[in-house]
Chain A
């Protein structure tokens, strides 16, 4: 550990003052960043809590001016679209991740890995336009299916990247031991490497799910909006994030209240997923890494 001994050396006052000032600024930065999070959480809780009831979660919305009504169809829409999106994106993402970690030297791997990085940071709006042109224009309508495809494109890069990383930290020795016993490559990957790295794998999939559940922009151009419960995959559907947007920019204060209630639900889902992933897997993850 580095430690200063200034006893014998005199340091000019201005330098000490500068040191103190910058320390204060650094602490202020941390304060500001934490304050932002706390203010967002507090406001959502204060505005969202009063409206929360069981019927709010289950009922369909009612027109402006009527009391009651809820966000049931939107919760349903989000769950279904995120579910289908994971069915599409998990196989592709995990497959690509395995390829990145098992054949990192190949041309395909480096090109695909780069595309994956670009896609991961891509404006989600552009992905929305893409799915609009290939699915909505072809089928002639907004649909839950189009929304799912858009969300799956958002999930793939996250799943692929975390798969690669969690497989890469599996010790080489394990892999070699398995191969030395005559176990074939794919069995080694599936039974040894993937099962050792499965915590990381699950973490990645959950984080991708959380990210997809909070996306709004691509859904505007793909899933559309509906106030009714889902009536087939090829029909429009509501979703939690779109509801928040749609109701927030409306002029009615009763709708603003509903938007806050939905925001509270959405933020709760996000945080529960993120924190539980962290608590359940992060520490173990570090232990495995430490053992290597």
Chain B
């Protein structure tokens, strides 16, 4: 085709043709380099983290993961208290945040879908929650949420249900519980936005069939809409989990920063990201610093695993339902 057209062109035209063909391949190379840079950054992050945590890896080996001691003076470093704290706060965030996010998503897609003004303003409101910087969540959590929770939630729970190990200990406000509540608020925008898109993509025939059987509005949502959207909502939840696991500043400011493993939610704790933020700049000695970097490596693999899982779920969902997430 190209040769055929070339034969009919004048010399200058051929020159322009060649020039633009060169420009074409140049552009392709340039943007391909940009795309490659993204992969390179991710690979370089993994490599650098591994390289710099080698002293700690060779000293503690795999037992770093389940070591429970974090003692700077004797240079004994184990990551379990931080993994535990990350796990507890993220789980708490999901327990509180998921029902609220689902409620918002159901409201937007099932209750007021046809009223554009309402969906738009509530949608914007929830999106603005995502625009609040994490450090401002921390500031607000430290001076507003933490005293509020201590006074009106933690103290009553402790007074009446103190015999349950979860609510034992002295409610101080800077603990797992406050961190979990704060994280719950922070994951609402992510989880509710994706869930709303997923619910919106559920075909109307699903709802109509259920209505025609005489179901109430709630029964339609519960039995026809939510089951259909199950895997997408699961993906949204996992993505919310990823956000909770990686969150640093807000948690650092309200969790109390004590490397403890305890059943009590009203005890100070620590998370993987928080210990890096809090101790890195003051860390001295190669082993101490490399242990902190290895904590970063643990966080890297957790985030990678969770994200991969969530993306797979959402990709699967997208292929099935043709939506944009």
Contact = CB atoms under 8 A, between A and B. Distances in A.
Interface of A: 1-2, 4, 6, 9, 11, 15-16, 18-19, 22-23, 25-30, 32-34, 36-37, 39-40, 43-44, 47, 91-96, 98-100, 102-103, 108-109, 111-112, 114-119, 121-130, 132-134, 153, 156-157, 160, 165, 184-187, 189, 210, 213-217, 220-221, 224, 241-242, 244-245, 248-249, 256, 259-260, 263, 266-267, 270-271, 274-275, 278
Contacts of A91: 34
B38 A28 contact: no
B32 interface: yes
Given A9-B214, A216-B135, A274-B131, A95 B248 contact: no
B280 to A, nearest CB: 6
B219 A33 contact: no
Interface of B: 20-21, 23-24, 26-28, 30-39, 41-42, 44-45, 48-49, 51-52, 99-104, 106-107, 111, 114, 122, 124-129, 131-140, 142-144, 185, 188, 192, 204, 207-208, 211, 214, 216-219, 221-222, 239, 242-243, 245-249, 252-253, 273, 276-277, 280-281, 292-293, 296, 299-300, 303-304, 307-308, 311, 324
B8 to A, nearest CB: 13
B34 A26 contact: no
Given A121-B243, A125-B273, A244 B248 contact: no
A267 B293 contact: no
A36 B130 CA distance: 12
A4 B280 contact: no
B39 A18 contact: no
A112 B36 contact: yes
Closest 6 CB pairs of A and B: A29-B103, A95-B34, A214-B133, A123-B246, A184-B20, A186-B27
A32 B296 contact: no
Given A244-B135, A271-B128, A274-B127, A126 B31 contact: no
B307 A117 contact: yes
A245 B138 contact: yes
Q: Say what secondary structure dominates the interface of chain A.
A: helix
A125 B277 contact: yes
Contact of A185 (B24, B134, B307): B24
B188 A33 contact: yes
A184 to B, nearest CB: 3
B107 A29 contact: yes
A7 B131 CA distance: 47
Given A37-B132, A125-B248, A165-B324, 4 more contacts: A26-B107, A115-B41, A123-B246, A266-B133
A92 B37 contact: yes
A111 B35 CA distance: 9
B137 A40 contact: yes
Contacts of B138: 244-245, 248
A248 B139 contact: yes
Given A115-B38, A157-B38, A29 B102 contact: yes
A19 B219 contact: yes
Nearest to A3: B211
Contacts of B280: 129, 132, 220-221
Given A95-B33, A111-B39, A123-B273, A15 B135 contact: no
B311 A108 contact: no
Contacts of B52: 129, 133
Contact of A119 (B41, B135, B140): B41
Contacts of B131: 210, 214, 270-271, 274
Contact of A98 (B31, B221, B245): B31
B76 to A, nearest CB: 21
A189 B138 CA distance: 43
Nearest to A269: B133
Contact of B136 (A116, A121, A244): A244
Q: Interface centre among B99, B138, B188, B304, by most A CB within 10 Å?
A: B138
A123 B303 contact: yes
Contact of A32 (B27, B100, B292, B308): B100
Given A18-B216, A125-B277, A153-B41, A256 B133 contact: no
A157 B299 CA distance: 19
B311 A125 contact: no
Contact of A100 (B35, B41, B273): B35
